[in-house]
Structure 1
Amino acid sequence: MVPMEDCYLRRIGLSGAPEDWGPEPAESAGERLAALVAAHQAMVPFENLALHAGEPASVDPVVTLAKIVTRRRGGICYELNSALGWLLQRLGWRVAWHAGRVRGADEKYGLPLGHLALIVSAPVVSAPTSSTLAGERWLVDAGFGGDAICGPVERLVTGLDGPEAEAVVRDPDGVPVRYLLETRCRPLSDFAGMAWWHSTSPVARFTGSLVCTVTREGQRITLAGRRLKITCAGPAGGERQLVSERWIEEEAELLGIYRETFGIELDAEPVQRQSVANGSPR
């Protein structure tokens, strides 16, 4: 039987053995990590289709790996980052789970544990011959909508080692605040409740729309319902630039886009559920 970590690497289009994507040699660790996260972003869509079909998001690796690797689906932040964190651990990285509160369009911050992100580092090795650079840390986030984040903590996060309960995560150019990140790490199980809430609550953003998006070759491709939109990066710190946008009229074409662009095989058009009763899933 092929090990799951090998299957996962193939799922995101990466060749080589698992050790080729680990933290050694340290001199190129950041480059390998960034390449892995970019591959994940390009091949595993950020999508909420399953929760509209009655499948709540999970942080259980057994569930998320079956969904992402075996069934070749995507997910929301809890699913994408918990699965990616599992893979990184199997490849030899140290992974810490951190909760975030995302800034909304109204510039207010969301609920505690409303987002899951990773702080990744190389393991501390005591052998003096090791080339591992102890203490270097990266913020890794493959579940922030269409944007993947992978970069040194000192460049992207302000206050992670400070006395406050939350640190500030910014874009690499330091302009907008993306979200507030708890300075303490948590067990992955702490996120199970909010993963369920985001899958079921009538006021959660993911229950109010259908979305599927990937970013590859500098373009973000997003299917929101039947609206297909392609954007590219704008000026530093600015909004993304529109490349094209159109409405998909025919279901056959819609299913073809899900299959060819996002790698998702569907028998019928996803349907957004319209009612909630006593907090049960839509």
Structure 2
Amino acid sequence: MDIDAYLARLGVARPAAPDLATLRHLQERHLAAVPFENLSSHLGEPVELTEDALFAKIVHRRRGGFCYELNGLFAALLRALGYDASLHAAQVFRPDGTLGPPLDHAAIVVALDAQDWLVDVGFGRFARHPLRLSAVDAQPDPDGEFLILDAPHGDVDILLDGKPQYRLERRPRPLADFIPMAWWQTTSPESHFTRSLTCSRPTSQGRVTLSGDKLIETVDGVRHEVHLPSPAAIRLAYRVYFGMTLTRLPVPPGGSPLTHDAPQPDTALT
């Protein structure tokens, strides 16, 4: 791995030591610099869960990705920097409180200072700082209050502001274990990722999300939504807000007149 190129993508200098403060800074910068996005499902691109393919996409092409991609590559970076980092599978809680399938999500656990820390840069809105898995009290974070609860079979449940997010396995898994579920997530008509289009990242004041032709900014808890009138405006939003230069636009589920992406001059976003 070209560590310096990856750190440059995050806007971070090479750290002096693999300590907790550095881990926290790396997580914050990764979330801010690399968006959570599912564009590949709507661009007809295969998702390849190999370190080389992920590095080419996220670092060289300056794209984002979803959990298997973002946490898979970030875990490799952390190991290259001297951290004891492993991937762990999770089942995501549905809105009705039931659990999704096994390996529905991939997160990172870092063993550091005789503690296990949950690090996740691939779940959309989630903790911006590492969470101590052995903590019995709620842990405050810029994106809410997190609580870790024991679950059956030695797993743990992660709650955000009292709402269950996912159930995390305690045993590590190689990245290759997630290949079948990643294929299902990006191809099945039943998958949330094929039924929605999103590109999102946190900001210093909230979050910015681009979903099709809707640009949504949350600033200090107040939501602002703007309709983007043309393909050129959408491409400009990807570049301005996410640092992504797209040669073609993803096709939203069901299609849209805006998918007729004829070259046009860049226009204002509002």
Q: Scaled by the length of structure 1, what TM-score is found?
A: 0.80
Question: Distance between the aligned counterparts of 2:75 and 2:172, measured in 1?
Answer: 13
SS in structure 1 of the partner of residue 131 of structure 2: strand
Which of 121, 127, 132 is the aligned partner of 1:152?
132
User: Residue 11 of structure 2 corresponds to which residue in structure 1?
Assistant: 13
1:37 is aligned to 27
Distance 1:232 1:119 in 2: 30
Secondary structure of 1:208's counterpart equals coil
Q: Secondary structure at the match of 2:166?
A: strand
1:257 aligns with 2:244: no
> What is the identity percentage for the equivalent residue pairs of Structure 1 and Structure 2?
39
2:151 paired with 1:186: no
Alignment pair present for 1:210 and 2:197? yes
Partner residue, 1:120: 110
Give the residue type in structure 2 aligned to 1:266. Answer: L
- Taking the aligned partners of 2:192 and 2:84, their CA distance within structure 1 comes to 31
Aligned partners of 1:141, 1:232: CA distance in 2, in Å?
23
How far apart are residue 165 of structure 1 and its match?
A: 4.5
Deviations 1:18-59 (A, max 9, x none): x42x42xxxxx2222111111001110001112211223232
What SS is found at the alignment partner of 2:241?
Answer: helix
For residues 151 and 183 of structure 1, the distance between their equivalents in structure 2, rounded to whole angstroms, comes to: 14
Question: Take 2:154 and 2:91, find their aligned partners in 1: how far apart are those partners?
Answer: 12
Matched letter for residue 8 of structure 1: Y
SS of 1:143 mapped into structure 2: coil
Aligned partners of 1:44 and 1:74 also within 8 Å? yes
Structure 1 residue 148, shift from structure 2 partner: 4.2
Matching residue's letter, 1:167 = V
Q: Provide the rounded CA distance (Å) in 1 between the counterparts of 2:223 and 2:42.
A: 29
**Residue aligning to 1:96:** 86
Question: What is the match of residue 36 of structure 2?
Answer: 46
- 2:153 equivalent in structure 1: 164
Give a deviation string over 1:193-240, Cα, whole Å, max 9, x none. 11111011110000111100011213110011111111256xxxxxxx
Q: Deviations over 1:162-214 (max 9, x none)?
A: 8724211123x6x2211111122222211111111101111000011110001
Counterpart among 109, 113, 129 of residue 99 in structure 2: 109
State how far apart, in whole Å, the 2-side matches of 1:227 and 1:115 are.
Answer: 26
Q: What is the aligned residue count?
A: 243
TM-score (norm 2): 0.84
SS of match in other structure, 2:121: strand
Secondary structure at 1:78 match in 2: helix
**Selected match of 1:57 from 39, 43, 47:** 47
Specify every segment of 5 or more residues in structure 2 that has no aligned partner in the other structure, as ranges.
136-146, 256-270
Q: Which residue of 1 is the match for residue 261 of structure 2?
A: none
Indicate if the aligned counterparts of 2:199 and 2:210 stay in contact, CA closer than 8 A: yes
Separation in 1, partners of 2:158, 2:127: 13
Structure 1, unmatched stretches of 5+, are 24-28, 123-132, 234-240, 276-282
State the match for 2:251 in structure 1: 271
SS of the counterpart of 2:22?
Answer: helix
Instruction: Specify the SS of the correspondent of 1:96.
Output: strand
Per-residue deviation, 1:264: 0.8
Runs of 4+ in structure 1 displaced over 4 angstroms?
A: none
